[in-house]
């Protein structure tokens, strides 16, 4: 592991809070920085009104100036293609409402584990987000709602793993997270905590000593699953954040989404796996796109996805090969492709 990862000190808490307050929400700001015109990138104010532009400045600074096809830009840019109706694409592509949402703040689809929506807020709006239409207003899960969620978990002794999700759960304060972790650890049949987050990638300053203490100061075995789709997302600050996570003993995994025009290329996918490993994270899942309304232009068909996965399997060792999966509403688990 490079020294910069092992030895870089954690940033002060104020750094990530400032970054979270100073998000780019204006197309003018984003495109002026990149020296691009709206017509070059297919910018759509209507698409942005449906699902607002939101991107941290640090993530924006990793984009290539003057490149309308930059893979980081395309993940956050509100484009005209989002307005096209596409057969098979809808508001709830993986069946997270209805019976899977038995009470506010809980998504319970799989045996033995459930998702706890810690917050509906996120620091970045990825245009392919499968929850871009999710009814967060009906799923408030602030401190006042926690007792009901915890009671649901305590009443079902088949639940051994709780997954912090959102939004992005790391938008919550360290104090809130520590309190929630402690309350979960008091439930005897819960043995594992998993955190699904993009913040260590897009705002690496979020990985402070106090955050890591909040997440690991309990008897629970803790796993963090970050989300990166392209090697260009992982700069030295992100690698240092990953290193701090690893030093706690947490398992650190990455999940990606296969996205047309962004990473649907064997060399790009292999480079991502290699970069993740150097930074201390193991590739976990490569998801086929969840068919959410507004994201059809990112879809890669299954036959091409399989071909890409076969191709990268010939150049990567098995431990760097992510599992190619699709999530199907009503299925009892992720479905291998």
Look up the domain containing 154 and give its range. Answer: 98-336
53: Cα separation from own chain's centroid: 16
* Mean per-residue pLDDT of the chain: 94
DSSP letter assigned to residue 186:
T
Contact between 195 and 248 under an 8 Å Cβ cutoff? The reply is no
pLDDT score of 6 more than 70? no
State mean pLDDT over 215-229: 98
Kindly indicate the confidence band of residue 9, based on its pLDDT and cuts at 50, 70 and 90. low
29 in any annotated domain:
no
pLDDT score of 5 more than 90? no
Query: With b meaning 16 or more CB within 10 Å and e meaning fewer, what string describes 306-319?
Result: eebbeebeeebeee
319 in any annotated domain:
yes
Kindly indicate the confidence band of residue 137, based on its pLDDT and cuts at 50, 70 and 90. confident
184 in any annotated domain:
yes
198 in any annotated domain:
yes
331 in any annotated domain:
yes
> Would you state the structure tokens that stand for residue 247, as one six-digit string?
């030093």
pLDDT score of 19 more than 50? yes
Residues 247-259 have pLDDT tens digits of 999 999 999 999 9
Q: Return the H-helix or E-strand segment holding 284.
A: strand 282-287
pLDDT score of 46 more than 80? yes
Contacts of residue 61, defined as CB under 8 A and 6 or more positions apart, other chains included, come to 33
Other C-beta atoms closer than 10 Å to the C-beta of 188 total 9
50 in any annotated domain:
no
Contact between 82 and 127 under an 8 Å Cβ cutoff? The reply is yes
State mean pLDDT over 215-242: 98
Confidence (pLDDT) at 3: 41
Among all chains, which residue has been given the structure tokens 């010939």?
314
Confidence (pLDDT) at 139: 86
Residues 260-313 have pLDDT tens digits of 999 999 999 999 999 999 999 999 999 999 999 999 999 999 999 999 999 999
The binding site for [4Fe-4S] cluster consists of 122, 126, 129
The binding site consists of 122, 126, 129
> Would you state the structure tokens that stand for residue 23, as one six-digit string?
């998000």
219: Cα separation from own chain's centroid: 25
**310: CATH:** 3.20.20.70
26 in any annotated domain:
no
Q: Concatenated DSSP letters for 136-158? A: GGG---STTTHHHHHHHHHT-TT
3-state secondary structure of 72: coil
Contact between 262 and 298 under an 8 Å Cβ cutoff? The reply is yes
Q: State the sign of the Cα–Cα–Cα–Cα dihedral 8, 124, 100, 139.
A: positive
Q: Concatenated DSSP letters for 219-248? A: SSEEEEEEE--SGGG--HHHHHHHHHHHHT
11 in any annotated domain:
no
State mean pLDDT over 25-53: 96
Contact between 185 and 218 under an 8 Å Cβ cutoff? The reply is yes
Structural domain count of the chain: 1
Residues 99-124 have pLDDT tens digits of 999 999 999 999 999 999 999 999 99
């Amino acid at each position: 592991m490079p020294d910069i990862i092992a030895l870089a000190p954690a940033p002060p808490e104020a750094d990530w809070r400032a970054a979270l307050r100073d998000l780019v929400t204006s197309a003018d700001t984003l495109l002026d920085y990149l020296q691009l015109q709206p017509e070059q990138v297919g910018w759509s104010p209507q698409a942005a009104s449906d699902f607002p532009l939101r991107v941290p400045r640090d993530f924006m600074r990793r984009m290539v100036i003057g490149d309308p096809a930059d893979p980081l830009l395309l993940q956050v840019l509100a484009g005209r293609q989002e307005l096209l109706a596409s057969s098979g694409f809808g508001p709830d592509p993986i069946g997270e409402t209805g019976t899977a949402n038995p009470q506010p703040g809980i998504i319970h689809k799989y045996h033995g584990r459930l998702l706890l929506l810690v917050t509906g807020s996120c620091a970045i709006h990825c245009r392919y987000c499968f929850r871009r239409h999710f009814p967060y207003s009906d799923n408030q899960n602030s401190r006042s709602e926690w007792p009901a969620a915890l009671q649901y978990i305590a009443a079902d002794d088949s639940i051994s793993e709780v997954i912090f999700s959102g939004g992005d759960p790391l938008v919550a304060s360290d104090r809130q997270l520590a309190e929630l972790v402690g309350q979960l650890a008091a439930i005897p049949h819960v043995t594992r905590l998993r955190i699904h987050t993009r913040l260590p990638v897009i705002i690496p300053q979020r990985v402070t000593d106090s955050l890591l203490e909040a997440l690991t100061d309990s008897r629970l075995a803790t796993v963090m699953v970050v989300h990166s789709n392209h090697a260009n997302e992982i700069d030295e600050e992100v690698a240092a954040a990953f290193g701090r996570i690893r030093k706690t003993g947490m398992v650190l995994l990455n999940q990606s989404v296969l996205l047309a025009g962004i990473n649907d290329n064997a060399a790009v996918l292999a480079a991502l796996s290699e970069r993740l490993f150097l930074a201390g994270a193991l590739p976990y899942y490569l998801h086929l796109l969840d068919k959410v309304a507004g994201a059809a232009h990112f879809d890669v068909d299954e036959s091409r996805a399989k071909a890409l996965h076969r191709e990268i399997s010939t150049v990567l060792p098995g431990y760097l090969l992510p599992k190619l999966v699709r999530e199907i509403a009503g299925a009892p688990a992720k479905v291998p492709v």
